[in-house]
A and B are shown apart, each in its own frame.
Chain A
Amino acid sequence: MKTNQTVPLAAAITPDELGLPNTADGPVVTPQLPQPQLPQPQIPFPLFQICTKDLQEGCFKITYKPSVLIVAPYYLGTLRVENKTGGGKSISADLYKFPGLVIFQPPIVFAPVGDVDDGSAIPIYARNKYYSYLKGTSYSRPSITTTKCTITVEFDEFVYNQPASGTFSGTFNNVLTRKIKIVVSPTADATVFSGRLFEGAVDKGSIELKWVSKYFRRSVVEIDTLVGAVSPKPLNPGLPSEESFTTIFATVGWRMDPLYNDVNVPVPAGVTSTNCWSDATLHALMQAKRNPSTNLDAEWRFHLMVVPGKMGCSRGKMYDQIGAHREAAVSYSDDGYPTSDSSNFGTAANKKQRDTPRAYIRSAAHELGHCCNMMHQELEGGSDNSIMTTTPSVADVLGSATTGAPGVFPTNINLGFNEHCRHHLIHFPDPVVRPGGMNWTAGHPSLGGTFAPQADGGRIFVPAESILLTIKTQTDRVKLGEPLLMAWEVLNKTDEDFHMPNDIGLNIDYTQVSVTDSDGNVVDIPTFVLECEHSSIKKLLPGKKIAAATNLFWVPMVLPLQNRASTA
C-alpha cells in the first residue's frame, strides 16, 4: 500500500482541536516549528486533518468538462444523494451532452436561487440532450486524512440510445457502458465540490458538483377542470397539516407544484361529459387546453384533466400512451367508491370522489404516479396503504374497524408513496420518470417494459472511517514466478454493527485484486473458481473482523510483484 507523505496545510490546526488518535508511541502531535522556520526539521509523523464536509442529501448540479485540447462536448446534469434509513447512501446521476464551444457557456436553464428552497434551482435539460445514467456503486469519505480531503464516488455508466428524431422513447442497454469514478474536494463555496473524473486510472476531465436543493427532482402539474366537475383540492392548505399533491410528492423528495388552471372548460362537441371518456378524446382535450407555452424540454409539466364521468370509470386513468407517453392523466370527480369494488370503503362507500376529499386527492396523486412510470403495487411488492396501490386494495388492506391494518378508509389512507416507489422516483433515470420520456412501463421489464438501470436500493455505503482494511503479504520479497500468499481483513471500528458479506474471499467475487505495474497499467487478477452458494450478507459486530487470503500467482499479462497490489 502506497502512503502519501505530503504535509497538508491543515497542519496549522492544533491537535487538541482535531482530537487526533493515539498511536503506539503516544498521541500524534504536530511539532511546534521553531522561528525562523529554516531549516525545517524532519517531521516524524504525517500530519492529519479532519474532513467534515460530506455530500449532503439532495440534488447537485453536475458540470463535467473533458480534458481535451480541441473543442469537445461537455456534460451537464444532476446528481442525487439520498441518505438511507439505517445508514448508507444511494447515489445516482444523469448526464446531458452538449456540443463543445470555444468558450464554455452552460446553456441554461433555471431560475436564480432564492432564500426559499422550492426546488427551482434544480436544472432541467432537453430530452434530446440526454446522454447517460450514472448508477452509484461505491462511496468513500475519510474522516481524517494526511492529504487533501476527498470524496470518491464510483459509478456504473449506462449510455442512453436516443430515439429517432421527433420521438422520445429511447433505450438503455442492459449492460453498463463503463465504470467511472469521481474524486472531489470541498471548495471555498460551501455548496460546491470540485475534482476530477476518472475512467480506470485515466483522468478524463474536471467535474464540479454544486448542491442546489434538498429536493431530488422538481415538476409541476397543471390542472384543468371541465364544466360540471370538481377538482381534487388540498386539505388544510397552508397549514402544517396540509395534504396535497405537494405534500404527497414530498414523501419521495420531489417538489411537485400544482397549477390550478382553467375551470369550466367547455365540453368538446360530441362528448357526454358524464360518461367514461376515451383516451383519444382526453388526449385531444389536453392538447387543446394545456398551457400553450408548455415545453417538456424546459419543464417537467404533467397535466391533469378533471371531468365528471360517473361511477364505474375507475376513478382516474393515466390515459396518455399516445405520441410521447405519460404527459397526462384524468380524474373523474363523479366516480367514486362503489361497494362492488370493495366492501371496505367505510364512510366513503358509494360516495363520489368530489365528496370524499382525502380519497380523491389520493386517487389523483395515484394517476400522477402513473405519469412518473410507477406501477400498481399489487404487481410489485404487494398491496399496501400507499399511493400506488389501487384504491380498492387500499380499502381492503385497511379492512374494517376490526380487521386489516390499523385504521379505516378513507380517514387513515396514507397519503404517501412507499419505499419501493420512493426509490424508483428518486433513482430511476430521468427519461423513465419525466413526462414525455420513455414509454409507459419502462424500467419494469417484468411488467413488459424496457430495461432501465437504477441505483441499488439496498446498497449500504459504509463510511471509510468505519472500517479498517488491512492487507498483509507473507513476505516482502519473492523470486520470479514464486506465488505470494496475500491476506486481508476488515475490522468494524465503530460501536455499531453493519452489514457485510460473510465471505470476502476472491472466490465469491466480493473482493477484487488488481495489480499495478511500474508503468501504471492495471490488471485484474481473477479467481480460479467461483464458489458462492454459501454467501450471504450478515452483520459485522463492533470490534469484529473477517478475513480472507489468496495465493497471488505470476500471470503473463503482468509481473505482479514489481509494484503493489490493492484490493477494492
Chain B
Amino acid sequence: MPDTNETWSCEIIDNQTTEKLQWIVKDKAVLDEMLEHCRNAAEYTQTFEIDPREGYNGVKLFNANESYTAFMGELFHVLKDTKEKKTDLGRKLEKMVLTNAPNSHRKKALAVLTIDFD
C-alpha cells in the first residue's frame, strides 16, 4: 500500500480473514509516537518464541522500505536486508495501532483489545 518512505501504514494481522485490515496513518503525532517507541525499543532478550496462532497475530507498522511487526511483546524490525528482534514493552505498539484504528477497522480492533490482552 505505501509507495514512499514517508507514508506509513498500519495493519492488523489476522490469518482467519481475507479482508485487508490496513490503513494509512494520518495523525502525525500518533505516527511519531509509534516510531519513537519502535526505534527506542530494547533488544528482545526473552528465551521463548512467539508462535503464530489462529486468528489475531499482531500488528504491523510499515512503509515501502521498512516495517515493524509486533505480537505478544516481540517486535520484528525489517529494513531492506536487515532484520532485528526488539521488545514491544507492554505491547505498546500493538495497543497504539489497535486503539488508533479507523472506523472501518474499529470493530476488529476492539474485539482484539477486549479479549487478547489478558
Contact = CB atoms under 8 A, between A and B. Distances in A.
Interface stretch (B3-11, B23-31, B32-40, B42-50): B42-50
A275 B50 CA distance: 10
A392 interface: yes
Given A314-B117, A340-B87, A343-B89, A275 B51 contact: yes
A318 B115 contact: yes
Contacts of A391: 118
Contacts of B117: 314, 376, 378, 390, 392
Nearest to B75: A340
Contacts of B83: none
Interface in A333-367: 338-343, 350, 363, 366-367
Interface string B52-71: 01110000000000000000
A367 B48 contact: no
B1 interface: no
Interface string B72-116: 111000000000000111110000000000000011001101111
Interface stretch (A140-148, A291-299, A440-448): A440-448
B107 A314 contact: no
Contact of A379 (B72, B73, B114): B114
A414 to B, nearest CB: 17
Contact of A341 (B44, B49, B73): B73
Contacts of B74: 340
B73 A367 contact: no
B44 A279 contact: no
Interface in A237-252: none
Interface in A274-292: 275-276, 278-280
B114 A314 contact: no
Contacts of B54: 278-280
A340 B51 contact: no
Contacts of A340: 44, 46, 72-74, 87-89
Contacts of A312: 46, 48-51, 72-73
A390 B118 contact: yes
A363 B89 contact: no
A448 B110 contact: yes
A317 B118 contact: yes
A392 B72 contact: no
Contact of B107 (A279, A316, A363, A448): A448
Contacts of A375: 114
Contacts of B50: 312
B77 to A, nearest CB: 15
A376 B113 contact: yes
B115 A341 contact: no
A379 B113 contact: yes
Nearest to B72: A312
B99 to A, nearest CB: 9
Interface string A244-283: 0000000000000000000000000000000110111000
B74 to A, nearest CB: 7
A528 to B, nearest CB: 40
A391 B113 CA distance: 14
Contacts of B113: 376, 378-379
A393 B90 CA distance: 8
A311 B47 CA distance: 9
A388 to B, nearest CB: 10
A315 B116 CA distance: 10
A441 B72 contact: no
A338 B44 CA distance: 11
B48 A338 contact: yes
Contacts of B87: 339-340
A396 interface: yes
A276 B52 CA distance: 9
B46 A338 contact: yes
A318 B117 CA distance: 11
B16 to A, nearest CB: 10
B111 to A, nearest CB: 7
Contacts of A343: 89
A54 B18 CA distance: 59
A370 interface: yes
Contacts of A396: 90
A303 interface: no
A314 B72 contact: yes
Nearest to B107: A448
A217 interface: no
A441 B89 CA distance: 27
Given A310-B48, A340-B87, A392-B90, A370 B72 contact: no
Interface in A308-326: 310-312, 314-318
A369 B55 CA distance: 22
Nearest to B50: A312
Given A338-B73, A363-B118, A440-B115, A392 B91 contact: yes
A376 B114 CA distance: 6
B89 A370 contact: no
B110 A314 contact: no
19 contacts: A280-B54, A312-B50, A314-B72, A317-B116, A338-B46, A338-B73, A340-B44, A340-B46, A340-B74, A341-B73, A341-B90, A343-B89, A350-B46, A378-B113, A390-B117, A392-B117, A393-B90, A440-B114, A447-B110
Given A312-B50, A342-B89, A448-B114, 18 more contacts: A276-B53, A278-B53, A279-B54, A340-B88, A341-B73, A341-B91, A350-B46, A363-B118, A366-B118, A370-B115, A376-B114, A379-B113, A390-B117, A441-B110, A441-B114, A447-B110, A448-B107, A448-B111
Name the 3 nearest CB pairs between A and B, nearest first.
A340-B73, A311-B48, A448-B110
